[in-house]
Chains A and B, each alone.
Chain A
Amino acid sequence: MAYSQEIAWGDGTSDKLYFSATASEGNQTVSVSSDANAGYNDRTKVVTFSASGVTPVTLTVTQSSKNIIIITRNDTAMTENDVAVGYEQ
């Protein structure tokens, strides 16, 4: 039976992580996707894989923030910058 699971990011948004696999038993490849991160900060969630009789294992999921476009103050040129927020001096 196909397996799917949704887990909220818990970062103040309603965004979720989505897990899916062919089954939740034995060896599987799990697909992990997310709602788009519309914020300007990366976010991280630790999820736990559990099974009876074994020590749980954790998966750390980090989602990058959206790209930022920075515009020069005098508006004579427009520069795209993916790593900083603000206006060029």
Chain B
Amino acid sequence: MAYASWVEPSKTSGSGNDTVSWSASARTGRTARQTTATFSASGVESKTLTIIQAGKAEFVTIDATASVAKAGGSVTISGTTNSSKLTFSLTGTDNIGLTLPSTYLANSVSTSNGAAITGDPGADAEFNFSITFTNIAENTTISSLTSQLTVAPNSGTSAVCDITQAAGDAYLTISPTTINIPAAGTAQSVTVSSNTSWSIS
């Protein structure tokens, strides 16, 4: 019996009446695949069996969360898909202030955001992708910041990654550090630079 390696019969030989079960490895590509098995016996005409495995519905998954250091820098977000095209967008309020990259890696190949993926590898199997945000600014606030990345397949349900940047450090400075008030008590000014609540005692 000649058949593709992705199927496996419960037995490859037998005698008389019998039942043969066929199993297959998971199909992750979008398109169906097909193979033919041949049943042969001495003195009789061979019979063929066509086995068709349906494709997997188009999908995309992505890291549910991603973290950015308080100092900023870069973050790479990964996922898996069998789509022919991925479109990334920043959704919701972008508190971090991210700049959406114009390209990402689809099956290790640089691909423009929203463009057809070269060779359409998702037709045959799912593949990995990643997108990297760079030049993320330092978080100068004492609160963590959030943004949301959404990736949409050519058709089907989008996936979302919640990106969080760690809170920055508090700071407090004053200028000048010495003042002289006239005898009459006339007001003088001191400049406070801070990213948090402060008090004087």
Interface string of A47-89 (1 = CB under 8 A from B): 1111111111111111111110000000000000000000000
Interface of B is mostly: strand
Which residues of A does B touch, CB under 8 Å? 5, 7, 18-19, 21, 24-37, 47-67
Interface-centre pick from A5, A48, A49 (highest chain B CB count, 10 A): A49
Distance in angstroms from A21 CB to nearest chain B CB is: 7
Is B169 a contact of A53 with CB atoms below 8 Å?
Answer: yes
A-B contact count (CB 8 A): 126
User: Which of B38-46, B96-104, B120-128, B184-192 is the contact stretch?
Assistant: B184-192
- With A and B bound together, what is the CA distance between A7 and B201 in angstroms? 7
Report if A35-B170 is in contact (Cβ < 8 Å); known contacts: A48-B201, A59-B190. Answer: no
Interface of A is mostly: strand
- With A and B bound together, what is the CA distance between A53 and B167 in angstroms? 12
Is A51 a contact of B181 with CB atoms below 8 Å?
Answer: no
Chain B count of residues within 8 A CB distance of the other chain: 32
Is A48 a contact of B193 with CB atoms below 8 Å?
Answer: no
Report if A30-B189 is in contact (Cβ < 8 Å); known contacts: A51-B170, A63-B180. Answer: yes
Task: Taking A31-B189, A65-B183 as given, write out 7 further A-B residue pairs in contact, using a Cβ cutoff of 8 Å, ordered by the A residue number.
Answer: A27-B193, A33-B185, A33-B187, A34-B185, A49-B200, A55-B172, A61-B181
- With A and B bound together, what is the CA distance between A43 and B101 in angstroms? 60
Which chain A residues lie closer than 8 Å to B197 at the CB level?
24-25, 51-52
Report if A36-B185 is in contact (Cβ < 8 Å); known contacts: A61-B179, A62-B178. Answer: yes
